[in-house]
Structure 1
Amino acid sequence: MTTATAPLADTFWATSLRRWNAVCWVLFGAMAVGLVTTAPPGGSSYRSLALLACVVLCYAVLDRFPGNPVVRPQVYLSVLVLALGGLAYAGSSYAALFMVTLPHYWMFGRTPRASMGFLGLATGATLAGSLLRQGWSAEFFGETVVSTLIVVAVGVLIGLWAHAVVEQSSERARLIEELERTQARLSEAHQRQGAADERERIAREIHDTLAQGFASIVVLAEAARAGMAEDPERSARQLRSIEATARENLAEARELVASAGQPGPGRVASGSVTQTLRRTLDRFAEDTQLVVDADLADLDCDQQTRIALLRCTQESLANVRKHAGASTVGVVLVRRPYGVELEITDDGTGFVVGESAGFGLDGMRKRLAELGGRLTVTSSVGDGTRILAMIPPAHEGEA
């Protein structure tokens, strides 16, 4: 029996033993009464009672103290073998004791080999005791040997069948336990992955909304302070833009707090993606005084696609504002047979795409990848930058 299945088999045997105990005590008592009432008085009767008492005492100690270092299961079975041989020699109720204790070989033997070994010793001791008492007679061969072997054969078949059942049950229980552990680990992994995905989503939303808004506020505040004396009207417009951006950031912050623990994209005002992008581009042109050339097809998209296109536009415009040093920005939104395309170009300083380590481009790639889309960035130093976002038809149907 393997180490994994041994505890399960031990539980089975312990349960079976508890059920058999009550029957054993009744049968032991009946055997003692039978010896007292039917056996003729004399030394033989007393020896039989003494042998039975030894068996009962060992069994009681084993039952009451299963971890006893003196009376172990092997000790009890050895005493039982000797008692059967002695009772067979005395001719006193050995057959009854043999049948009563037959299950004990399988309960206490632990393994089929040990059980078969003790059962063989008990059979041999019984036959040896009977042979010494009866001699080589027809009665010995006709009754004792045949009846003993029949009882032993039945006991062996029942015991082997019980062990097979236990092995199957133990293996089944082991597989169920292993499956439960695997399911528990899988559930924990899903929970950890879900938490990581949610943290990444919130970080991306904060970067694409709050962080960009704060960056715009800083740039506008610096420009307003620098031009307050020379161009008060322009500074006033910039202050209004700061106020509007701050209000939008406040609304975005409240939305992020409200959506905490609810995976999914942040809220974007409903309506045409074209209208949403045009408002964003108008605000950008007003704040930066750059030329924005927009060619936006009139498209209706689902919420996820609209959010992705808006976030890509916001991130691209923020990079133009902070890094490009451009004078003109071009934005093209068009529906292709393979999906929706958003192209944003600028005539700025450009950069080496392979050396870019910012969070923004990586966030755009992941956002588009979640919708089955892709992001293509083309740029080189001194030649401007081209951002191309594509979202396939599965996520650009009408809202």
Structure 2
Amino acid sequence: MDQRPWSGDRQRWRALHRGYATVWVLLGLCPPVIAVWDQPAATKIWSLALLAGLAASYGIVRVFPGSPVLRPPVYLGVLALGLGGMSYLLGGGAAQFIAALPQFWIFARDPRQAVASSGAAAALTVAGGALRHDLATGNALFTVLGYAAGVGVGLLVHRIVDDGAVRTARLRAELTASEQRLAEAHQRQGAAEERDRLAREIHDTLAQGFASIVVLAEAARTSLATAPDRAARQLLSIEQTARENLTEARVLVGSAPQSGLAPGSIARTLRRTLDRFAEDTGLAVEADLPELACDQPTRIALLRCTQESLANVRKHAAASTVGVVLASRPDGIDLEITDDGRGFVVANSRGFGLDGMRKRLTELGGELIVTSSPGEGTRVLATLPTDGQG
């Protein structure tokens, strides 16, 4: 694994390397070229050749770090030998060695290799200078001090980068865990919303249909002996309700159009529902249903509110008359359903049907207002915004 400093952040490492390339050329390669200019010819030739070799090697390893021709560990050996050679030719090379120190940390596989390779370069630099002069020189001292400082700074930087990498890994793990928890929460929320939607749809369609079938079946059984014609009509209504329930069931399992409601006039849709209700219950129904334009979601919501309200009248109200008024406003549609039944205390109502109607209307930007009191009947007002498009 690549453990060089900044290896976890390639853009930062490359920017640093670009900046250091200028430093190496200006402080590591150019000064020796100037220094050998007044040296004997042999020294000048060997020095320039060695500097050219170092420059070419650096260019290869920097541009092609994965090249089999000159891998970074091999380059560090070449660099150490080159620094020793230049120190021998010039009688000292502390400055060039210090300028080259960052390369041992940039190209080394790990801190241990960086310390070892830079130590070898320091030893060769000191040895090269000692072959031309006495060992106890300023160049030797500065080389040793530079090596010690380079090791200290390199290890410190490596430690800082390692700590940063650990923190980054920890933050990434925490972020991944948070994203996973958020996705699970969204999934649970979506599942809960879908269960709520299905429960509402089942209550508003299948449950109401089955309740109607039960009531009609009981009435038909009672009428069989005394009023066979009425029993036949009730059986026909049972058949129609069962077919409608079958259609709604197919909608719920996704094998039929999602709305379960054919396009058409909202007035005609509500009129058919009210006619069925009056036929099944024998209650008087007074309806004012003008032709109004509205979109399919609005039609479905108004139909479901009507069905739920009529089901409540059938089961709880003991009413004799039901009134239904459909009216248009500049910015929406109102549907009012009233009965003269026994009424109830709205604040004490815990029925799923009223909550389902409220949620359905709220999803479309509408509102449900229920007004009732014991002995005073009930008024249900559903309001929905509309853009006027059918």
Q: Do both proteins adopt the same fold according to a TM-score greater than 0.5, normalized to the shorter chain? A: yes
8 A Cα contact 1:259 1:266, kept in partner: no
Residue 214 of structure 1 corresponds to: 210
Structure 2 residue 367 is the aligned partner of structure 1 residue 374? yes
Structure 2 residue 318 is the aligned partner of structure 1 residue 318? no
1:306 positional shift: 0.8
Structure 2 residue 172 is the aligned partner of structure 1 residue 190? no
Residue type at the aligned position of 1:305:
T
C-alpha distance in 1 between matches for 2:285 and 2:334: 18
Bigger drift between 151-160 and 378-387 goes to 151-160
Residue 145 of structure 1 corresponds to: 141
1:308 and 1:259, CA in 2 relative to 1: closer, same or farther beyond 3 A?
Answer: farther
TM-score (norm 2): 0.65
8 A Cα contact 1:217 1:246, kept in partner: yes
SS of 2:136 mapped into structure 1: helix
Mapping of residues 261-340 of structure 1, within 5 Å = 266-340=259-333
C-alpha distance in 1 between matches for 2:164 and 2:388: 55
1:167 positional shift: 4.9
Residue 354 of structure 2 corresponds to: 361
SS of 2:187 mapped into structure 1: helix
C-alpha distance in 2 between matches for 1:367 and 1:142: 89
1:197 positional shift: 1.3
Deviation digits for residues 189-226 of structure 1 (CA, Å, limit 9, x no counterpart):
22221111111111111111111011111111111112
| 2:385 aligned residue (359, 375, 392) | 392
C-alpha distance in 2 between matches for 1:198 and 1:212: 20
8 A Cα contact 1:12 1:166, kept in partner: no
SS of 2:226 mapped into structure 1: coil
| 2:224 aligned residue (222, 228, 240) | 228
1:357 positional shift: 1.1
Mapping of residues 89-168 of structure 1, within 5 Å = 107=111, 139-140=135-136, 142-168=138-164
Deviation digits for residues 286-314 of structure 1 (CA, Å, limit 9, x no counterpart):
11111111111211221111111100000
Residue 344 of structure 1 corresponds to: 337
1:259 positional shift: 5.3
C-alpha distance in 2 between matches for 1:142 and 1:252: 97
Deviation digits for residues 114-173 of structure 1 (CA, Å, limit 9, x no counterpart):
x9xx99xxx9xx9xxx9xxx9xxx953624322111223334444444455555555555
TM-score (norm 1): 0.64
C-alpha distance in 1 between matches for 2:335 and 2:285: 15
| 1:203 aligned residue (199, 202, 209) | 199
Bigger drift between 344-353 and 154-163 goes to 154-163
C-alpha distance in 1 between matches for 2:317 and 2:5: 75
1:372 and 1:158, CA in 2 relative to 1: closer, same or farther beyond 3 A?
Answer: same
8 A Cα contact 2:5 2:161, kept in partner: no
8 A Cα contact 1:377 1:386, kept in partner: yes
8 A Cα contact 2:247 2:260, kept in partner: no
Residue type at the aligned position of 2:203:
H
Unaligned runs of 5+ in 1: 1-7, 14-18, 32-94, 109-114
RMSD: 4.3
C-alpha distance in 1 between matches for 2:286 and 2:4: 79
Bigger drift between 246-255 and 158-167 goes to 158-167
C-alpha distance in 2 between matches for 1:170 and 1:12: 13
8 A Cα contact 2:333 2:383, kept in partner: yes
1:154 and 1:107, CA in 2 relative to 1: closer, same or farther beyond 3 A?
Answer: closer
1:181 and 1:259, CA in 2 relative to 1: closer, same or farther beyond 3 A?
Answer: farther
SS of 2:365 mapped into structure 1: coil
1:382 and 1:366, CA in 2 relative to 1: closer, same or farther beyond 3 A?
Answer: same
1:9 and 1:384, CA in 2 relative to 1: closer, same or farther beyond 3 A?
Answer: farther
C-alpha distance in 2 between matches for 1:163 and 1:297: 80
C-alpha distance in 2 between matches for 1:107 and 1:150: 17
SS of 1:376 mapped into structure 2: strand
Unaligned runs of 5+ in 2: 9-65, 82-96
Residue type at the aligned position of 2:329:
R
Deviation digits for residues 255-282 of structure 1 (CA, Å, limit 9, x no counterpart):
212259xxx9632111111111111001
C-alpha distance in 2 between matches for 1:202 and 1:229: 40
Residue type at the aligned position of 1:398:
Q
Structure 2 residue 247 is the aligned partner of structure 1 residue 251? yes
C-alpha distance in 2 between matches for 1:9 and 1:286: 86
Identity %: 58
